[in-house]
Amino acid sequence: MATATLPKLGFKPSPYLVGAGALFLVALLYTIYLEVTLGHHGFNTTNYGVFWGLPIVAYDYFLLTSTGLTLLASLPLTLGLRQFDPIAKRCIWLALAALVGGVSILFLELAHPIRALWAAPLNFQTASPLFWKILCVGAYTIVLVLMGLAFARGAAPADIPRGLAVLATLLALAITLIAGSVYGMIVFRPFWYGGELPVAFLIEAFMGGIVFFVFFTYLIHGLSPDRVAQPTRELLGGALGALVAAGIFLHVLFVVARTVAGLWSYGEGLQVWQYTVDQPLYWAALIGGGLVPLVIFAVPALRAQPRLQIVGSLLVAAGLFASRYEFVINGQLLPPFKGSWAESPLEYVPSQLEWMLLIVGVLLANTIYAALESWSSTKEA
């Protein structure tokens, strides 16, 4: 009679892990040096205008990418769509890596990050979306760690407890909708204010999660399509590619609709829309990060080509980051209650320290993901 054996963990560092880890340590040391020598003066944010700078943009971007990846993993883990089993493990690992990378940026940006861990939830400001967002992120982190370790030990998607998968899905959904509400409920920031934002954040998170999965699937295989398993390749060129196309289409509609409404309106503070459409970044994000990859993923013959999948996923990822930057920063460029008579929008350019925080977060996320991929599972004899 055969007996079950427990998996034995094996760790084989890859060149990807070694390179990402080494670069992360160098970037982290330099960032710490800048923070120690410059203090909070190293940030180009101010107390009279732009409160949230590049670190908040990056934090939101990685957090929503993480929740999007978890929602993508929910197709097999929660909904039981077994044809998506090949993507579940990598989605959860990438979700955990993106989450830690994004939170690390926020922690390095805060003056007292340890204080925030206990003070933010214990202040019981239940009327604020941020209060609930912090609680959900904490629980979400624990659930992702449990699921990530289960996959690292060799668990199949069907082995993940359904209750745990449902909880992860609900937390990812809650975080995404609350993140949209954080901006959408600020009535004195007309550029942000709107009940449609939570839904838009959900679409963009899901779209971002898919393109991250596409790119990092190829990256972990040395950008060699032949090394990717056949079931995964079929999903990349089929159902997942079509889902990306649908997400891009909805995202482009959202951006264009907001732009038209903003340019047409005479509401105080919405004058910043004219400034927005005058910036090359807006058109680069809309065309290069939206329309071009939409063609790639919408045409079956194009999305079936691995090289175009890689290019398209990078364009979407970059376009989403540019759109998130414009959304967060431009919403602060006109002072509250002065939008109709401000001489010109405020100016903001990320500082060297702010760029370094982004680099640290990206490298940390890559290091964690590479470590999880190197954590192989073998059975005892």
Q: Once rounded to an integer, what is the mean pLDDT over residues 314-337?
A: 91
**Average pLDDT of the chain, as a whole number:** 88
78-103 per-position pLDDT tens digit: 998 989 999 999 999 999 999 999 99
Task: Tell me if 216 sits within 8 A of 96, measured CB to CB.
Answer: no
* Separation between Cα atoms, residue 297 and residue 245, nearest integer Å: 5
The shares of helix, strand and coil residues in the chain, as percent rounded to the nearest 5, are: 75, 5, 25
Angle 351-42-138 (CA atoms, 0-180°, nearest 5)?
90
CA distances to 19, 148, 328, 373 from 153, rounded to whole Å, are 24, 9, 39, 11
pLDDT at 341 over 90: no
pLDDT at 218 exceeding the cut of 70? yes
pLDDT above 60 for 2:
no
- Report the share of the chain in percent with pLDDT over 70: 93
Confidence grade of residue 7 (pLDDT, cut at 50, 70, 90) = very low
Q: Which amino acid is at 138?
A: G
Percent of the chain at pLDDT > 90 equals 59
pLDDT value, residue 376: 56
The pLDDT value given to residue 342: 63
Closest to 209 in 3D by CA, of 320, 288, 133: 320
Confidence at residue 5, expressed as pLDDT on a 0 to 100 scale: 44
Is-contact 184 198, C-beta < 8 A?
yes
Beta bridge partners of 7: 379
pLDDT of residue 378: 36
pLDDT at residue 1, rounded to an integer: 41
Choose the weakest-confidence range: 7-21, 28-42, 325-339. Answer: 7-21
What residue ranges do the domains of the chain occupy? 20-185+352-372, 221-348
- The mean per-residue pLDDT over the stretch 19-24 comes to 94
| Residue 340 binned pLDDT confidence (cut-offs 50, 70, 90) | low
Q: Burial-class residue 97 by CB neighbours within 10 Å (0-12, 13-18, 19+).
A: buried
Looking at the predicted structure, is the pLDDT value of residue 346 above 50? Answer: yes
Indicate the range of 54-58, 254-258, 265-269, 341-345 predicted with least confidence.
Answer: 341-345
Q: Which of 77-81, 142-146, 332-336, 346-350 has the lowest mean pLDDT?
A: 332-336
Q: How many residues does the chain have?
A: 381
The more confidently predicted of residues 127 and 343 is 127
pLDDT of residue 61: 96
Q: Which residues contact 76 (CB under 8 A, 6 or more apart)?
A: 82, 83, 84, 85, 87, 88, 157
Q: pLDDT at position 201, please?
A: 95
pLDDT, tens digit, 9 for 90 and up, residues 123-176: 777 778 888 888 999 999 999 999 998 998 888 898 899 999 999 999 999 999
pLDDT, residue 380, reads 31
Give the pLDDT score at 40.
Answer: 78
The class that CATH gives domain 20-185+352-372 is mainly alpha
Alpha helices in the chain (DSSP H): 15-38, 54-77, 85-109, 113-122, 129-152, 162-184, 197-220, 230-237, 239-264, 272-277, 280-283, 292-298, 300-303, 306-330, 352-374
The answer to whether 306 and 225 have CB atoms below 8 angstroms apart is: yes
pLDDT of residue 278: 92
First-residue to last-residue Cα distance in the chain = 15
Confidence of residue 377 (pLDDT cuts 50, 70, 90): very low
Nearest of 364, 375, 62 to residue 208 by alpha carbon: 62
Classify residue 159 by its DSSP letter. Answer: G
7-11 vs 375-379, strand pairing mode: antiparallel
> Can you say whether the dihedral through the CA atoms of 39, 43, 49, 52 is positive or negative?
negative
Count Cα atoms within 13 angstroms, Cβ side, for 286: 18
